[in-house]
Amino acid sequence: MTTTITCIEDLKGREQYREFLDFSEGSGRELLDIVTDYSFPDTKMISCGIQGCRTMHMRGFLVVTTDGLETNIGNVCGKKYLGENFKVKKAIFIQRQNEERNMFLISELKDKIRLLKPLLRELYLRASSVVKLKMVCNKAHPQLVRLIVERAKLDRPVLTGPVPMTRAEAKSLHFHEAKEDADGKVEAFESWFIRRRPKKIVQLASLEGLLFWRFDLHQMLRRDVLDVVSELESLNEEELSGLSASSQRRFARWGQGLDNKVSEVESVIKAGEQFFVCENIDSLGLFEPDLDKNSRSTLRYALEAVKKAIKSS
């Protein structure tokens, strides 16, 4: 059972506790083990239990000696008066403390996973659906997918293109652009407008769900979440208690980041669902000018294949 010290009375109430003990060579007494640590942050309110030290301090350790007695030792005092023995016992105590904390976190984690299972199943089904559509898209038009991924990495959802200027817009451009010829005459607006056919660049569409293309959903959900869940669920109580310190740390750290992992997975899946909407797929036709000549002719068929897959999913 873990010993907890919250105040001086907790120390003084222990049967074997002594306010100070002699740790000199002649005493024959040595530090046997560290029982627990304590912290009294409000003030330096307790003296070190090493006779001859008695330094007031806020943080330290309850220790047991080779003759079965207990006292309290400040962290700095222990290093100064008890040397290497204190350093070794402190390292063992910290390792034991970390193992206890990690095992507690893992126990809580297993309970949490049981509650998360319905959500994880739902995410798996939704992820499977959008990943299949991604595969259809990859197969239908690889070059288009490369352009989509490039835009996703740069976070550029807006698609632009040229459209004819209105007459009012063109007149403004004509005023600034038209130059005098050798005879000092300026080309009339009407002839300039017919010859020039001025255009402007405008937003034609904005792609939804580009976030989906920035991540490997299989890795995020399968390898980073579901595989670890399966690994944990497969361990019985005996196997859990026998975990190595490194495995304990790995599971504990993973569990502390689980909520964020699930939230990120859900965001990417939602982005995939937003991307694979027929209206959004139609907007991909605007990529045609950016494709090489051979790929342009297959774009329309590729988009139809993706939309067909969406409708049947």
Q: Give the Cα separation of 144 and 151 in Å (integer).
A: 11
Three-class SS state of 39: strand
Crossing angle of helices 75-140 and 293-312, rounded to 10°: 100
DSSP 8-state class, residue 187: P
**Residue at 52: amino acid letter:** G
Pairing between strand 199-206 and 46-47?
unpaired
What's the pLDDT score for residue 181? Answer: 73
* Residue 37 and residue 90 in contact, taking contact as beta carbons nearer than 8 Å: no
Print pLDDT tens along the chain (313 aa). 578 898 889 999 999 999 999 999 889 999 999 999 999 877 667 899 999 899 999 899 999 999 999 999 998 899 999 999 999 999 999 999 999 899 989 989 999 999 999 999 999 999 999 999 999 999 999 999 999 999 999 999 999 989 999 999 999 898 888 877 767 788 888 888 988 899 999 999 999 999 999 999 999 999 999 999 999 999 888 888 888 889 999 999 999 999 999 999 999 999 999 999 999 999 999 999 999 988 899 999 999 999 999 999 8
DSSP 8-state class, residue 185: P
Residue 15 tokens, joined: 């049967």
Domains in the chain: boundaries: 8-100, 107-155+207-312, 163-202
What's the pLDDT score for residue 313? Answer: 84
What's the pLDDT score for residue 271? Answer: 98
What's the pLDDT score for residue 44? Answer: 65
Residue with tokens 């939804």: 208
- Give this prediction's pTM: 0.75
